[in-house]
Protein backbone atom coordinates (compact mmCIF):
# COMPACT_ATOMS: atom_id res chain seq x y z
CA UNK A 1 0.00 0.00 0.00
CA UNK A 2 1.54 3.28 -1.14
CA UNK A 3 1.89 6.16 1.28
CA UNK A 4 -0.66 8.81 0.14
CA UNK A 5 1.43 11.80 1.24
CA UNK A 6 4.78 12.40 2.90
CA UNK A 7 2.94 14.23 5.69
CA UNK A 8 1.29 10.95 6.79
CA UNK A 9 3.99 8.25 6.84
CA UNK A 10 2.50 6.04 9.59
CA UNK A 11 0.31 3.16 8.43
CA UNK A 12 -2.04 1.79 11.09
CA UNK A 13 -4.70 -0.91 10.95
CA UNK A 14 -8.12 -0.59 12.55
CA UNK A 15 -8.37 -3.27 15.25
CA UNK A 16 -11.86 -2.38 16.50
CA UNK A 17 -14.35 0.48 16.69
CA UNK A 18 -16.39 1.37 19.78
CA UNK A 19 -19.37 3.71 19.93
CA UNK A 20 -19.00 6.13 22.86
CA UNK A 21 -22.18 8.24 22.54
CA UNK A 22 -24.94 8.58 19.93
CA UNK A 23 -22.58 10.56 17.65
CA UNK A 24 -19.04 9.69 18.81
CA UNK A 25 -16.89 6.64 18.01
CA UNK A 26 -13.39 5.55 19.06
CA UNK A 27 -11.21 3.83 16.47
CA UNK A 28 -8.50 1.64 18.00
CA UNK A 29 -5.49 1.29 15.71
CA UNK A 30 -2.56 -1.11 15.60
CA UNK A 31 0.80 0.36 14.66
CA UNK A 32 3.44 -2.27 13.93
CA UNK A 33 6.24 0.20 14.66
CA UNK A 34 6.85 2.34 17.73
CA UNK A 35 4.77 5.50 17.27
CA UNK A 36 6.13 8.30 19.47
CA UNK A 37 3.60 10.75 20.88
CA UNK A 38 2.80 12.66 24.04
CA UNK A 39 -0.43 12.71 26.01
CA UNK A 40 -2.73 15.38 24.57
CA UNK A 41 -1.19 15.59 21.10
CA UNK A 42 -3.03 15.19 17.79
CA UNK A 43 -2.22 13.72 14.37
CA UNK A 44 -3.24 14.45 10.80
CA UNK A 45 -5.23 11.67 9.14
CA UNK A 46 -5.24 11.10 5.38
CA UNK A 47 -8.95 10.95 4.56
CA UNK A 48 -9.80 8.11 2.16
CA UNK A 49 -6.03 7.50 2.06
CA UNK A 50 -5.53 10.35 -0.40
CA UNK A 51 -3.15 13.29 -0.37
CA UNK A 52 -5.67 16.04 -1.02
CA UNK A 53 -7.72 15.83 2.20
CA UNK A 54 -6.13 15.82 5.65
CA UNK A 55 -7.90 16.28 8.97
CA UNK A 56 -6.53 16.66 12.51
CA UNK A 57 -7.76 14.43 15.33
CA UNK A 58 -6.61 14.13 18.91
CA UNK A 59 -4.81 10.93 19.87
CA UNK A 60 -7.18 10.00 22.67
CA UNK A 61 -4.94 7.12 23.79
CA UNK A 62 -2.09 7.53 26.25
CA UNK A 63 1.56 6.60 25.60
CA UNK A 64 2.78 3.84 27.88
CA UNK A 65 -0.75 3.11 29.06
CA UNK A 66 -3.07 2.36 26.15
CA UNK A 67 -2.87 -0.89 24.22
CA UNK A 68 -3.79 0.83 20.95
CA UNK A 69 -3.43 4.19 19.26
CA UNK A 70 -6.95 5.65 19.37
CA UNK A 71 -8.86 8.37 17.57
CA UNK A 72 -12.17 9.49 19.08
CA UNK A 73 -14.30 11.17 16.44
CA UNK A 74 -17.62 13.01 16.54
CA UNK A 75 -19.67 12.51 13.40
CA UNK A 76 -20.48 15.84 11.76
CA UNK A 77 -23.06 15.95 8.98
CA UNK A 78 -21.28 16.42 5.64
CA UNK A 79 -17.91 16.30 7.41
CA UNK A 80 -15.47 14.77 4.93
CA UNK A 81 -13.31 13.29 7.64
CA UNK A 82 -15.78 12.29 10.32
CA UNK A 83 -18.35 10.81 7.93
CA UNK A 84 -15.71 8.55 6.39
CA UNK A 85 -14.14 7.52 9.68
CA UNK A 86 -17.44 6.78 11.46
CA UNK A 87 -19.54 5.37 8.61
CA UNK A 88 -17.22 3.73 6.09
CA UNK A 89 -14.00 2.69 7.83
CA UNK A 90 -14.23 -0.89 9.13
CA UNK A 91 -12.16 -3.28 11.21
CA UNK A 92 -9.11 -4.37 9.24
CA UNK A 93 -8.91 -1.20 7.15
CA UNK A 94 -5.73 0.87 7.07
CA UNK A 95 -5.31 4.54 7.97
CA UNK A 96 -2.31 6.80 7.39
CA UNK A 97 -1.33 9.24 10.15
CA UNK A 98 1.21 12.02 10.47
CA UNK A 99 3.76 12.36 13.23
CA UNK A 100 2.16 13.44 16.50
CA UNK A 101 1.85 17.22 16.76
CA UNK A 102 0.81 19.94 19.18
CA UNK A 103 1.94 21.46 22.46
CA UNK A 104 -1.24 20.90 24.48
CA UNK A 105 0.45 18.36 26.74
CA UNK A 106 0.97 17.83 30.46
CA UNK A 107 4.34 16.08 30.70
CA UNK A 108 6.21 19.41 30.64
CA UNK A 109 4.11 20.90 33.46
CA UNK A 110 5.55 19.56 36.72
CA UNK A 111 2.96 21.19 38.96
CA UNK A 112 1.52 19.12 41.80
CA UNK A 113 -1.97 20.59 41.39
CA UNK A 114 -3.90 20.66 38.11
CA UNK A 115 -7.41 21.43 36.88
CA UNK A 116 -8.50 19.91 33.57
CA UNK A 117 -11.63 21.40 31.98
CA UNK A 118 -13.36 19.90 28.93
CA UNK A 119 -16.53 20.35 26.94
CA UNK A 120 -17.86 17.85 24.40
CA UNK A 121 -15.17 16.24 22.25
CA UNK A 122 -12.63 18.48 23.96
CA UNK A 123 -12.42 15.67 26.49
CA UNK A 124 -10.23 13.58 24.17
CA UNK A 125 -6.87 15.19 25.08
CA UNK A 126 -8.04 15.60 28.67
CA UNK A 127 -8.61 11.85 29.06
CA UNK A 128 -5.26 11.15 27.42
CA UNK A 129 -3.55 13.41 29.95
CA UNK A 130 -5.61 12.14 32.91
CA UNK A 131 -4.44 8.56 32.30
CA UNK A 132 -0.85 9.76 31.92
CA UNK A 133 -0.94 11.68 35.18
CA UNK A 134 -2.46 8.70 37.02
CA UNK A 135 0.35 6.41 35.86
CA UNK A 136 3.40 8.68 35.87
CA UNK A 137 2.51 11.30 38.51
CA UNK A 138 0.06 9.55 40.82
CA UNK A 139 0.67 12.06 43.61
CA UNK A 140 -0.55 14.99 41.50
CA UNK A 141 -3.79 16.52 42.76
CA UNK A 142 -5.92 16.44 39.59
CA UNK A 143 -9.40 17.95 39.41
CA UNK A 144 -11.53 17.41 36.27
CA UNK A 145 -14.69 19.24 35.21
CA UNK A 146 -16.43 17.84 32.10
CA UNK A 147 -19.34 19.71 30.52
CA UNK A 148 -21.79 17.89 28.24
CA UNK A 149 -25.16 18.51 26.61
CA UNK A 150 -26.84 15.60 28.42
CA UNK A 151 -25.81 12.52 30.44
CA UNK A 152 -25.94 10.45 27.21
CA UNK A 153 -23.10 12.56 25.78
CA UNK A 154 -20.40 11.59 28.29
CA UNK A 155 -17.50 10.29 26.20
CA UNK A 156 -15.47 7.54 27.97
CA UNK A 157 -18.31 7.19 30.50
CA UNK A 158 -17.18 3.81 31.86
CA UNK A 159 -13.54 4.81 32.14
CA UNK A 160 -14.30 8.03 34.01
CA UNK A 161 -15.50 5.91 36.94
CA UNK A 162 -11.81 5.34 37.75
CA UNK A 163 -11.15 9.04 38.29
CA UNK A 164 -12.85 11.70 40.40
CA UNK A 165 -14.51 14.42 38.34
CA UNK A 166 -17.37 16.89 38.23
CA UNK A 167 -19.89 16.29 35.44
CA UNK A 168 -21.98 19.25 34.26
CA UNK A 169 -25.01 18.53 32.05
CA UNK A 170 -26.88 21.32 30.31
CA UNK A 171 -30.01 19.21 29.70
CA UNK A 172 -31.68 16.35 31.61
CA UNK A 173 -29.13 16.34 34.41
CA UNK A 174 -29.35 13.04 36.31
CA UNK A 175 -27.96 11.89 39.63
CA UNK A 176 -24.25 12.64 39.80
CA UNK A 177 -24.48 15.62 37.45
CA UNK A 178 -24.49 19.33 38.14
CA UNK A 179 -27.37 20.87 36.19
CA UNK A 180 -26.74 23.73 33.78
CA UNK A 181 -23.48 25.06 32.40
CA UNK A 182 -20.06 25.62 33.88
CA UNK A 183 -20.29 28.62 36.19
CA UNK A 184 -18.05 30.82 38.28
CA UNK A 185 -19.46 29.21 41.42
CA UNK A 186 -18.37 25.75 40.20
CA UNK A 187 -14.88 27.09 39.53
CA UNK A 188 -14.77 28.75 42.94
CA UNK A 189 -15.54 25.38 44.56
CA UNK A 190 -12.28 23.88 43.24
CA UNK A 191 -9.80 23.72 46.13
CA UNK A 192 -6.69 25.88 45.74
CA UNK A 193 -7.79 27.03 42.28
CA UNK A 194 -5.29 29.90 42.02
CA UNK A 195 -2.39 27.52 42.75
CA UNK A 196 -3.32 25.10 39.97
CA UNK A 197 -2.20 24.74 36.39
CA UNK A 198 -5.42 24.94 34.38
CA UNK A 199 -5.78 23.25 30.97
CA UNK A 200 -8.95 23.37 28.88
CA UNK A 201 -10.23 22.03 25.59
CA UNK A 202 -13.57 22.46 23.85
CA UNK A 203 -15.43 24.89 21.58
CA UNK A 204 -13.80 28.31 21.26
CA UNK A 205 -16.54 30.25 23.18
CA UNK A 206 -16.28 27.77 26.04
CA UNK A 207 -12.49 28.10 26.24
CA UNK A 208 -12.68 31.90 26.05
CA UNK A 209 -15.16 31.90 28.95
CA UNK A 210 -12.97 29.56 30.98
CA UNK A 211 -9.87 31.68 30.37
CA UNK A 212 -11.57 34.91 31.42
CA UNK A 213 -13.08 33.43 34.57
CA UNK A 214 -10.16 31.37 35.90
CA UNK A 215 -7.81 34.31 35.41
CA UNK A 216 -10.26 36.51 37.28
CA UNK A 217 -10.04 33.98 40.12
CA UNK A 218 -6.25 34.24 40.29
CA UNK A 219 -5.04 31.50 37.94
CA UNK A 220 -1.73 32.39 36.30
CA UNK A 221 -0.80 29.10 34.59
CA UNK A 222 -3.40 28.60 31.86
CA UNK A 223 -3.28 26.56 28.64
CA UNK A 224 -5.92 25.85 26.00
CA UNK A 225 -6.20 23.75 22.88
CA UNK A 226 -7.29 25.31 19.59
CA UNK A 227 -10.59 24.25 18.04
CA UNK A 228 -12.26 25.82 15.02
CA UNK A 229 -15.78 25.94 13.55
CA UNK A 230 -16.02 27.00 9.89
CA UNK A 231 -18.34 29.80 8.82
CA UNK A 232 -21.63 28.11 7.92
CA UNK A 233 -22.79 30.41 5.13
CA UNK A 234 -21.12 32.65 2.60
CA UNK A 235 -21.37 36.37 3.28
CA UNK A 236 -23.01 38.79 0.85
CA UNK A 237 -21.11 41.83 2.08
CA UNK A 238 -17.99 42.71 4.01
CA UNK A 239 -14.39 42.28 2.89
CA UNK A 240 -14.00 41.32 -0.77
CA UNK A 241 -11.62 38.46 -1.59
CA UNK A 242 -10.59 37.71 -5.17
CA UNK A 243 -8.82 34.54 -6.28
CA UNK A 244 -6.92 34.56 -9.57
CA UNK A 245 -6.66 30.80 -10.04
CA UNK A 246 -9.49 29.96 -10.38
CA UNK A 247 -10.96 33.40 -11.04
CA UNK A 248 -13.54 34.06 -8.34
CA UNK A 249 -14.67 36.94 -6.16
CA UNK A 250 -16.62 36.68 -2.91
CA UNK A 251 -17.19 38.42 0.40
CA UNK A 252 -16.22 37.49 3.94
CA UNK A 253 -17.50 38.88 7.25
CA UNK A 254 -15.15 41.21 9.08
CA UNK A 255 -13.35 39.27 11.81
CA UNK A 256 -13.14 35.89 10.09
CA UNK A 257 -9.95 34.14 9.09
CA UNK A 258 -8.96 33.65 5.48
CA UNK A 259 -9.56 29.92 5.88
CA UNK A 260 -13.09 30.52 7.12
CA UNK A 261 -13.71 32.79 4.15
CA UNK A 262 -12.40 30.25 1.64
CA UNK A 263 -14.30 27.31 3.10
CA UNK A 264 -17.61 29.12 3.43
CA UNK A 265 -17.37 30.07 -0.25
CA UNK A 266 -16.43 26.53 -1.35
CA UNK A 267 -12.94 27.43 -2.52
CA UNK A 268 -10.75 24.32 -2.40
CA UNK A 269 -8.10 24.55 0.31
CA UNK A 270 -6.30 21.88 2.34
CA UNK A 271 -6.79 22.34 6.07
CA UNK A 272 -5.74 19.97 8.82
CA UNK A 273 -4.59 21.34 12.17
CA UNK A 274 -6.35 24.73 11.75
CA UNK A 275 -3.99 26.14 14.38
CA UNK A 276 -1.06 27.43 12.33
CA UNK A 277 1.08 24.34 12.89
CA UNK A 278 0.89 21.90 9.99
CA UNK A 279 1.25 24.29 7.02
CA UNK A 280 -1.41 22.57 4.87
CA UNK A 281 -3.36 25.78 4.19
CA UNK A 282 -0.45 27.84 2.82
CA UNK A 283 -1.87 30.52 0.51
CA UNK A 284 -0.31 33.45 -1.36
CA UNK A 285 -1.75 36.93 -0.94
CA UNK A 286 -1.00 39.19 -3.92
CA UNK A 287 -2.38 42.40 -2.46
CA UNK A 288 -4.30 43.69 0.53
CA UNK A 289 -3.75 44.20 4.23
CA UNK A 290 -3.86 41.42 6.80
CA UNK A 291 -2.37 40.32 10.10
CA UNK A 292 -1.13 36.84 10.96
CA UNK A 293 -1.02 34.92 14.23
CA UNK A 294 1.28 32.12 13.06
CA UNK A 295 4.07 31.73 10.49
CA UNK A 296 5.36 28.50 11.99
CA UNK A 297 5.98 26.56 8.76
CA UNK A 298 6.80 29.50 6.47
CA UNK A 299 10.32 30.55 5.52
CA UNK A 300 11.30 34.21 5.51
CA UNK A 301 11.41 34.10 1.71
CA UNK A 302 7.87 32.72 1.53
CA UNK A 303 6.62 35.42 3.87
CA UNK A 304 8.25 38.09 1.73
CA UNK A 305 6.48 36.61 -1.29
CA UNK A 306 3.12 37.01 0.45
CA UNK A 307 2.52 33.46 1.63
CA UNK A 308 0.34 33.06 4.72
CA UNK A 309 -1.27 30.23 6.64
CA UNK A 310 -4.95 30.75 5.81
CA UNK A 311 -6.09 29.53 9.24
CA UNK A 312 -3.92 32.19 10.89
CA UNK A 313 -4.50 35.04 8.43
CA UNK A 314 -6.95 37.77 9.46
CA UNK A 315 -7.91 40.04 6.53
CA UNK A 316 -7.89 43.76 7.34
CA UNK A 317 -8.98 44.91 3.86
CA UNK A 318 -10.00 43.47 0.49
CA UNK A 319 -7.55 40.77 -0.60
CA UNK A 320 -6.36 39.34 -3.93
CA UNK A 321 -5.04 35.78 -3.79
CA UNK A 322 -2.78 34.05 -6.32
Name which of 86, 19, 20 is nearest 47 in CA terms.
Answer: 86
Q: How many CB atoms lie within 10 A of CB 3?
A: 14
Name which of 28, 30, 29, 8 is nearest 19 in CA terms.
Answer: 28
Distance (Å) of CA 92 to CA 14, 88, 115 = 5, 12, 38
Is residue 26 within 8 Å of 128, Cβ to Cβ?
no
Going by the DSSP 8-state scheme, the letter that residue 88 receives in this structure is I
Distance (Å) of CA 58 to CA 35, 213, 321 = 14, 26, 31
What pLDDT was estimated at residue 230?
Answer: 47
Peptide bond into 27 cis (omega under 30): no
Secondary structure class of 121 (helix, strand, coil): helix
Is residue 312 within 8 Å of 297, Cβ to Cβ?
no
User: What's the pTM value of the predicted model, to 2 decimals?
Assistant: 0.76
Going by the DSSP 8-state scheme, the letter that residue 277 receives in this structure is S
CA 174/CA 284 separation, integer angstroms: 52
> Terminus-to-terminus CA distance in the chain, angstroms?
35
* Sheet (strand 141-148) strand order: 177-179, 166-169, 141-148, 113-119, 197-201, 221-224
CA 238/CA 282 separation, integer angstroms: 23
Secondary structure class of 239 (helix, strand, coil): strand
In degrees, rounded to 5, the angle at the alpha carbon of residue 196 between the alpha carbons of residues 111 and 184 is 165
Domains and CATH numbers, the chain: 10-97 (2.40.30.10), 113-224 (3.40.50.80), 239-321 (3.10.20.30)
Name which of 163, 211, 218, 213 is nearest 193 in CA terms.
Answer: 218
Return all residues near 91 (Cβ < 8 A) that are at least 6 apart: 14, 15, 16, 17
Locate all alpha helices (DSSP H) within the chain, ordered by sequence.
80-83, 123-136, 184-188, 204-216, 258-264, 300-304
pLDDT in tens, the chain (322 residues): 688 888 889 999 999 999 999 999 999 999 989 999 999 999 989 999 987 788 889 999 999 999 999 999 999 888 889 999 999 999 999 999 999 988 899 999 988 999 999 999 999 999 999 999 999 999 999 999 999 999 999 999 999 999 999 999 999 999 999 999 999 999 999 999 999 999 999 988 899 899 999 999 999 999 998 644 444 567 777 889 999 877 889 888 878 889 988 888 878 787 777 778 778 889 999 999 999 988 888 999 999 999 999 999 999 999 999 8
What pLDDT was estimated at residue 226?
Answer: 63
3-state helix, strand, coil in the chain (%, to 5): 20, 30, 45
CA 32/CA 43 separation, integer angstroms: 17
What pLDDT was estimated at residue 233?
Answer: 62
Amino acid sequence: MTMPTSQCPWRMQVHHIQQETPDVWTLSLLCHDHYPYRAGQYALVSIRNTADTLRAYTLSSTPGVSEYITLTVRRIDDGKGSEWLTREVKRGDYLWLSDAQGEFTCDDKPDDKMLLLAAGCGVTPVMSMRRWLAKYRPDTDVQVIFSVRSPEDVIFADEWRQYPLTLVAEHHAAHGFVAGRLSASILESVPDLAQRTVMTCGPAPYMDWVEENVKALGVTRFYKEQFFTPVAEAATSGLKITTLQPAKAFYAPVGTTLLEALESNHVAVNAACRAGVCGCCKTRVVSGEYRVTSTMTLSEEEQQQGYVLACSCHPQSDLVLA
